[in-house]
Amino acid sequence: MSSVASATGGRLVIEGLRKRFGAVQALDGVSFEVRAGEIFGFLGSNGAGKTTTMRIVLGFLQADGGTITWDGRPAHAWPRRTWGYMPEERGLYLRMEVLEQLVFFAALYGVPRRQARAQALEWLARFRIAEYANRKAETLSKGNQQKVQYIATILHGPQVLIMDEPFTGLDPVNAAQLREALLELRDQGRTIVFSTHQLSTAEELCDSVAIIDHGRLVIAGSTREVRRSTGNQVVRVATDGGADAEWLGALPGVTVTRRGADYTELRVAAGGNPQAVLRAAVERGRDVLRFEVADPSLEEVFVERVGALVSEDHTLAAPVGAR
Amino acid sequence: MSNVANIVTVARREYQSRVRARSFLVGTALLVLSVVAIAMVPIIVQAISGSGAQRVAVWDGAGDIGGSPAATLDSLLNAPTGGGTSAGGQATTGDFSVRAVTDLDAERRAVDKGEDTAVLALARGPSGDLAFTLYTNESSTGRVAQLIRQAVSAVVIADRLARLNVAPADQARIFAPADFSVAWADPARTEATQSSADQGASYFLGFGMTILIFMMIILYGQWVAASVVEEKSSRVMEVILNAATPFQLLTGKVAGVGGVALTQYLAILAAGLVALAAQGPVAGLLLGAGTAASSLPQGLTPGLLGLLVVYGVLGFLLYAVLFAGAGSLVSRQEDVNQVVTPMTLVATAGYMVGVYSATGLLDIRAGWLTFLGQVPFLSPFLMLSRVTSGQAAPWEVPLSIVLMAVTLVACLWLAARLYAVGVLLYGQRPGARTIWRLLRHGM
């Protein structure tokens, strides 16, 4: 098995990536770093440049400018089996048997057929679809096809896994299975980069994230840093008096973001002190039933820095030049 | 991963998935059956229409004719056509079975019942000449009547000469064929001239081989294009693009489909050879021993078969890589036909010119056909008929093969480049300008 990039120096470094399709500047100087052995979320609306970035990293597209290195060497200098790629549009040979095509994909990366076969059967069993090994892919449900696709992506043991919207279209059970599998790969030392517009999934899973918008990097860093990047804080309050939203909204530097029967959520603007909210509650003579200070969610950060997330799923890739 | 290993992997998948498909198995089985059927049809038709020989009886009412008229008629009616004037030792055709009868009335009844085809009655007329009457239910101007009429005139002439006291030896000299030969108009040509049978065979060969090559190019070329589009429309392309280069995918695919084509052609060829070999025994079984069996078409030499393979394979590769490149530009099966039209048009034009010149509708000696024969995209359709008709100058075959090979390398480069930019194109079919821009600048 190929050695995983050293934990100290191993980094996927993307530096000043530029790409133009006709009149559209798809990428305009995108730079970020992914540390080896972490799960990295690549966030952005449709058309932000996520797929283009991934395709350039994998060498399908030529950048107009910029460099990509993995563990100190240019990305294209690494053997193909270094990389695993799961495109947004799932692709299987529909009229080919599942096991046979898994062996085919692995063989293209140089995995001996016998070994590929044994490993594929193991994975199929793990995902509880072993009975479909000799069925044609077209007879499988969408969810099971996705599992086959996932196995095809990792069967050759890539160091870096690049996945374009892997959670789109998965039901909750399958999504949980995929999350589990990604965490396990991470624990084995593999590096995983995936794009998504499900910000809650990214928040739950990713060690680091990058937000990209209209071909420009908005922010990148550890998930915690990014969540704290606005300086805002989130406070969740519930008192015995009820109707908290009215008096809370009147406090300086505070915006009510959620009025619930159970609790009220506030945003405390950068520089404000959440403890002031608690003091105000006590001063009003109320019993505080709940008081919680948290970092803003990625979604809040995203909305604040980029605007509302355009999140409708697109099923067809856009024509040339649209990304 | 090395180039070759991935090309083999891609080709292997392409080959296996196609050869195992039910449509391929059924199609090949049908082709094999039809080849066997075509080879067997003449025998079966003969078997169904009864014994091959026409039964003719001769009733001699004159009694003073030298020799047996039945025997004379037998040899005349069964003489092979065409070469009938050449010296003896000829095989007989066995088309007619002739015997003498003594009871004319009984024989007429036998003919009427269909037991025999005809009975020929001969008698001396008042002038001393022989007079003949053919009793038959067949057409008075049919083939049997015509042949008997011709044979009878020979009997009459021999009889007249005998009555003029010409000795039988002198008679033979009178009927000896004239010294007659045919030579090429061009004094430089010394090889043997072609008989019409040879020429027919060469037309047939050139024509047949041109059809085979055309079918191979169009049929399997379209398969290549369709297969590329299938990978695009099912989005497998992006998955395998991470593992293999566009060049590997392209060459592997063309090689795989080419292998399928060769498999199908070999199956048909094997069936044809078995059917030809079986013709004799089957004919013997159905029609009785001694029936002549046909053999390989005349002029089909191993060298010519080799040329068929060379032109077939080179022509297929030449077109297939372009079909693949073109197929990579569209993402839906419905658009395939449109995008491969330029290649189909060129191939069809080449095929038409090839067939017209093979069958003599175009003068194959024309200079512009010599030129067209060297155009790499037309050579596969033109050169074989030029060779079979003996019109190809010695330099033509090697030059055309070299030109095709060079063009193939250029096309491979072009197609791989088209493929590299095309496989990630989705949506609208790109216009010529977009393609040109992508080819120049990459994607």
Which residue in chain B has the smallest CA separation from A319?
B427
- The answer to whether the CB of A19 falls within 8 A of the CB of A55 is no
Give the rounded distance of the alpha carbon of A56 from its chain centre. Answer: 18
| A317–B426 CB contact, under 8 Å | yes
* Among candidate residues A263, A305, A87, the one with its CA nearest the CA of residue B236: A87
CATH number attached to the domain at A11-227: 3.40.50.300
Percent of chain A with pLDDT over 70: 92
Instruction: Name which of A92, A96, A108 is nearest B243 (Cβ-Cβ).
Output: A108
Q: How confident is the model at residue A316 (pLDDT cuts 50, 70, 90)?
A: very low
Q: How confident is the model at residue B311 (pLDDT cuts 50, 70, 90)?
A: very high
In A, which residues are within 8 Å of B6 by CB distance? 108
- The answer to whether the CB of A164 falls within 8 A of the CB of A195 is yes
Candidates A20, A55, A60, partner chain B, best to mutate (most B CBs within 10 A): A60
Q: pLDDT at position B442, please?
A: 62
- The answer to whether the CB of A168 falls within 8 A of the CB of A15 is no
Residue A3 pLDDT more than 70? no
Q: What is the DSSP string of A132-160?
A: GTTSBGGGS-HHHHHHHHHHHHHTT--SE
Q: pLDDT at position B198, please?
A: 64
What are the tens digits of pLDDT across the range A124-168?
998 889 999 999 999 998 888 989 999 999 999 999 999 999 998
Which residue in chain A has the smallest CA separation from B329?
A320
- The answer to whether the CB of A210 falls within 8 A of the CB of A217 is yes
User: What is the average pLDDT value for chain A, to the nearest integer?
Assistant: 87
| B243–A92 CB contact, under 8 Å | no
Instruction: Determine the number of helices (DSSP H) and then strands (DSSP E) in chain B.
Output: 16, 4
Q: Angle formed by the axes of helices A98-108 and A113-126, to 10°?
A: 130
What's the rounded mean pLDDT across residues A287-294? Answer: 89
What's the rounded mean pLDDT across residues A46-70? Answer: 90
What are the tens digits of pLDDT across the range A192-244?
999 998 888 999 999 999 999 999 999 999 999 999 988 889 999 888 877 77
Residue B171 pLDDT more than 80? no
Neighbours of A239 (CB within 10 A): 21
Residue B257 pLDDT more than 50? yes
| A108–B428 CB contact, under 8 Å | no
Query: What's the pTM value of the predicted model, to 2 decimals?
Result: 0.74
- The answer to whether the CB of A286 falls within 8 A of the CB of A319 is no
Phi, psi of B119 (to 5 degrees): -130, 130
In B, which residues are within 8 Å of A27 by CB distance? none
Residues of chain A with CATH 3.30.70: 231-295
Percent of chain B with pLDDT over 70: 85
Residue B405: CB partners within 8 Å, gap ≥ 6?
B314
Q: What strands lie across the sheet with A65-70, from one edge to the other?
A: A24-35, A11-21, A65-70, A73-74
Distances (CA, A) of B250 to A22, B329, B333: 27, 13, 18
Instruction: Name which of A55, A83, A104 is nearest B13 (Cβ-Cβ).
Output: A104
| A318–B427 CB contact, under 8 Å | yes
**Residue B208, amino acid:** G
Q: How confident is the model at residue A19 (pLDDT cuts 50, 70, 90)?
A: very high
- What gap in Å lies between CA B231 and CA B216, rounded to an integer? 22
Phi, psi of B233 (to 5 degrees): -70, -30
Distance from CA of A281 to the nearest CA of B (A): 57
In A, which residues are within 8 Å of B13 by CB distance? 96, 104
Distance from CA of A211 to the nearest CA of B (A): 24
- The answer to whether the CB of A203 falls within 8 A of the CB of A298 is yes
User: What is the average pLDDT value for chain B, to the nearest integer?
Assistant: 81
Q: pLDDT at position B302, please?
A: 77
Q: Does residue B58 sit in helix, strand or coil?
A: strand
Q: pLDDT at position A319, please?
A: 41
Give the rounded distance of the alpha carbon of B328 from its chain centre. Answer: 36
Interface of B with A in 215-254 (CB under 8 A): 231, 234-244
Q: How confident is the model at residue A318 (pLDDT cuts 50, 70, 90)?
A: very low
Q: How confident is the model at residue A88 (pLDDT cuts 50, 70, 90)?
A: confident
Residue B201: CB partners within 8 Å, gap ≥ 6?
B297, B298, B299
- What gap in Å lies between CA B70 and CA B57, rounded to an integer? 8
* Among candidate residues B202, B242, B212, the one with its CA nearest the CA of residue B358: B202
Residue A119 pLDDT more than 90? yes
Any CB–CB contact under 8 A between B428 and chain A?
yes
Q: pLDDT at position A73, please?
A: 92
| B242–A89 CB contact, under 8 Å | no
Instruction: Name which of B21, B235, B427 is nearest A91 (Cβ-Cβ).
Output: B235
CA-angle at B262, arms to B257 and B263, nearest 5°: 95
Distance from CA of A159 to the nearest CA of B (A): 14
What's the rounded mean pLDDT across residues B32-36? Answer: 86
In B, which residues are within 8 Å of A320 by CB distance? 425, 427, 430, 434
- The answer to whether the CB of B97 falls within 8 A of the CB of B117 is no
Handedness of CA B83, B84, B87, B90 (dihedral sign): positive
Range A231-295 classified under CATH 2.60.40: no
Which residue in chain B has the smallest CA separation from A163?
B239
Considering only residues A127 and B176, tell me which one the structure prediction assigns the higher pLDDT. Answer: A127
- What gap in Å lies between CA A102 and CA A105, rounded to an integer? 5
What's the rounded mean pLDDT across residues B148-161? Answer: 85
Considering only residues A239 and A312, tell me which one the structure prediction assigns the higher pLDDT. Answer: A239
Q: Which domains does chain B have, with CATH numbers?
A: 3-44+192-441 (no CATH), 54-175 (3.40.190.10)
Distance between start and end Cα atoms, chain B: 23
Residues on chain A bordering chain B, Cβ-to-Cβ distance under 8 angstroms: 55, 58, 60-62, 79-81, 83-87, 89-96, 104-105, 107-110, 149, 152-153, 156, 316-320
Q: pLDDT at position B51, please?
A: 54
Residues of chain A with CATH 3.40.50.300: 11-227
Structure tokens at B125: 């007329």
Any CB–CB contact under 8 A between B284 and chain A?
no
Neighbours of A53 (CB within 10 A): 31
| A93–B430 CB contact, under 8 Å | no
Distances (CA, A) of A294 to A205, A222, A228, A267, B332: 18, 16, 10, 10, 50
What are the tens digits of pLDDT across the range B326-376?
998 888 888 888 889 999 999 999 999 988 887 777 777 788 888 898 999
CB pairs under 8 A between A and B: 82
Percent of chain A with pLDDT over 90: 51
Neighbours of A16 (CB within 10 A): 13
Q: pLDDT at position B190, please?
A: 66
Question: Comparing A224-233, B89-98, B221-230, which segment has the lowest mean pLDDT?
Answer: B89-98
Distance from CA of B208 to the nearest CA of A (A): 35
What's the rounded mean pLDDT across residues A91-111? Answer: 93
| A107–B238 CB contact, under 8 Å | no
Q: Does residue A18 sit in helix, strand or coil?
A: strand
